[in-house]
Structure 1
Amino acid sequence: MPLAVELDRSAVLTGGAPAPAPLLLLLHGFGSDERDLPGLTAHLPAALGWASLPGPFPASPYPGAAGRAWFPITTPGSPDPEPVHAATAAILEWLDQTVPADRPVVPLGFSQGGLMVTQLLRARPERFAAGVVLSGFVLAGEQPHDDELGEVPVFYGRGDADGVIATDAVERTGAWLPAHTKATVRLYPGVPHSVSAAELADVATFLEAALTA
């Protein structure tokens, strides 16, 4: 039986512009939670709504980790696909039950959340207007809708001093995104595993263009 997980709907945070404004779906990184990314929205277009979701797994089994996770860490950069797909299904279920089908949605994720952005696009490309991957990566292997992503705009940004994401995952992502999506790729000199002011400015410009097109 496939693994099934649920989001804690009572923990979901929302704000910004109401429907029918486009909705940013904020997906935090490992060991963080739904409170982490809403602060970024102050640097993004004001005419957007946002919803920040909690990962379905606890990060606490891992030494020194608290908060939530979208999937357990097994081999860094190469997670077990089963919990990744389970988390993807949980997000899509929340989306289907909460957000009108005609409201444009843009998932924006950091680190593990960045992988979840690409998983959402790969699972249901027609549902999303664009995607934003911040210091994230893509899951290895082909998936059924990979060939349907060619017109989906995706922003992929990372710092060249990021030592957290495994090298093979960075290389995989750098090759996969331009080959499968309408990718905008940015590398930020000296930036570690974090989001810089320059990157946020680039994301704002990207979102304005992607949602106007």
Structure 2
Amino acid sequence: MITSQEAKPTLFYLVRPPKIQTGKPPLLILLHGVGGNEQDMFSLANSLPEKFLVVSVRGPLTLGPDSYAYFRVDFSTGRPIINEKEAESARVSILRFLEDLKQKETFDEKKVYLMGFSQGGIMSYSVALTEPEKIKGIVVMSGRLLPEIKPLVAINERLSKLKVYISHGSQDNVLQVQYAYDAVNYLKAKGISPLFHEYLESHTISEAMLKDVTIWLDQIVNSQQ
């Protein structure tokens, strides 16, 4: 439930129009990692499937010049400790942004996808698993599923149609690949069958990762015609 007290202003974003014109294109929202900005993920836009309206969002929290996040996180203990209030505010902000976007861009509201790297992947899980009727599928690249979000996750029946793609590097020293294994097991317990690809990579998006994601997105959107 989004209340007026919880809602934040519309987030800043960049747009790549669909290269193949349709009446209402599917929407792909890109979410960057902590300390990044909307340009980071937007640099991938021209490599993504041509049917999508691609929107790259800037996180609501300013860390410094051209440096943004969805919430603050502390790694000083050796494991990530999040600012839970900021993480929840960001989840609500993305849902509010999606509602606002309907007034500004033309897209198929039944074909909305989220694609996030690192903290953007975290937010993709948090939004889709709590409001699965609004999100058709997610791509989580080098992310993790917050334990703090699990009490808010929808019941299995509501999650049954959600499509999930996970990619992670086995050499990731920021968010270890174990987070991906844990997420896969959790999703399977919720009745979701995620597609998981592991790569001999660090905390990054490699050309191979992007190529495989693009193939999956193409297959998903074409299967819905």
Task: Give the structure-2-normalised TM-score.
Answer: 0.81
Whole-angstrom distance in 2 between the partners of 1:97 and 1:144: 23
Secondary structure at 2:182's aligned position in 1? helix
Gap regions ≥5 residues in structure 1: none
Does residue 41 (structure 1) correspond to residue 45 (structure 2)? The answer is: yes
- Deviation digits for residues 135-169 of structure 1, max 9, x if unmatched? 01111133241522232111100111110015664
- Deviation digits for residues 11-56 of structure 1, max 9, x if unmatched? 3111121761111101000000111111212222111111111111
1:6 to 5, 8, 12: 8
Gap regions ≥5 residues in structure 2: none
Counterpart amino acid of 2:126?
Answer: Q
Whole-angstrom distance in 2 between the partners of 1:22 and 1:206: 14
Whole-angstrom distance in 1 between the partners of 2:193 and 2:7: 31
Whole-angstrom distance in 2 between the partners of 1:113 and 1:3: 24
- Deviation digits for residues 91-141 of structure 1, max 9, x if unmatched? 111111222673521010000000000111022101111100010111113
Secondary structure at 1:120's aligned position in 2? helix
CA RMSD between the two structures: 2.5
2:186 alignment counterpart: 176
2:209 to 191, 196, 199: 199
Does the CA contact (< 8 Å) of 1:3 and 1:83 recur in 2? no
- Deviation digits for residues 173-208 of structure 1, max 9, x if unmatched? 23223333230000002x110011111111112112
> What is the correspondence of 1:181-192 to structure 2 with a 5 Å cutoff?
181-189=192-200, 191-192=201-202
Does the CA contact (< 8 Å) of 1:56 and 1:69 recur in 2? yes
Secondary structure at 1:177's aligned position in 2? helix
Does the CA contact (< 8 Å) of 2:171 and 2:177 recur in 1? no
Whole-angstrom distance in 2 between the partners of 1:33 and 1:125: 26
Does the CA contact (< 8 Å) of 1:8 and 1:54 recur in 2? no
- Deviation digits for residues 44-86 of structure 1, max 9, x if unmatched? 21111111111111234xxxx9600111103544423322111
1:158 alignment counterpart: 168
Aligned length in residues: 207
Percent identity of paired positions between Structure 1 and Structure 2: 26
Task: Give the structure-1-normalised TM-score.
Answer: 0.86
Whole-angstrom distance in 2 between the partners of 1:142 and 1:179: 15
1:102 alignment counterpart: 109
Secondary structure at 2:152's aligned position in 1? coil
Whole-angstrom distance in 2 between the partners of 1:3 and 1:36: 30
